[in-house]
Chain A
């Protein structure tokens, strides 16, 4: 399978715990995006990388959230001191930033439940 992969697919945690999610983009894609989707809503942008550089962060991304893409390949999204409001589906997408290539391809998502 050469699509975007995410791990884990499901995570249940207790309030106050830290969680980390991983995203592996399509191999030749240089851009990687994180979105969050709550029930009944469209995905909301969190942050994106071009290669290893984090180019933009949403105001939704509080200080408890941090994302990295250390070698320009996979990315991790960490949430510290989780809150019940963090319960959502976390989606990763990747794209190839070049002329004529505009589509973002989404992974299966990580569903987080904070108890």
Chain B
């Protein structure tokens, strides 16, 4: 069974701190996606990582991909309250469908 595991499932962090969310997936894939979801809202695309060693950055978020380890990370630098949301990683294998992780609920506190 194809699986995507994220950890932690819940993260409470103070503003200004750094942290990393981990995403392990169970199949060979060179396409890894990160999405953000605010409560009651739909999913917003953050990053698409297309090859081993890919690194992308947008503001305080940076995502990386290690296809050999089947691991992607989402690093948060100097968190701010606006980053509070649930973050999902997902991959596509040979099919085009996205297989999502369970999500990491991030809460940034003052």
Contacts and interface: CB of A to CB of B under 8 A. Distances in A.
B99 A102 contact: no
A92 B76 CA distance: 28
Interface stretch (A62-70, A71-79, A80-88, A104-112): A104-112
Interface residues of A, number: 25
B100 interface: yes
Contacts of B4: 42
Interface string A41-62: 1111100100000011010000
Interface string B32-62: 0101000001111100101000000000000
Nearest to B47: A103
Contacts of B102: 40-42
Interface string B86-107: 0010101001111111110000
A91 B88 contact: no
A107 B42 contact: yes
Given A41-B102, A42-B90, A102-B48, A33 B97 contact: yes
16 contacts: A31-B96, A33-B96, A33-B97, A42-B103, A43-B43, A43-B98, A43-B100, A45-B97, A48-B96, A58-B97, A93-B98, A103-B33, A103-B45, A104-B33, A106-B43, A106-B45
For the complex of A and B, 4 pairs with smallest distance between CB atoms: A42-B100, A45-B97, A106-B43, A106-B42
Interface of A: 31, 33, 35, 40-45, 48, 55-56, 58, 91, 93, 95, 97, 102-109
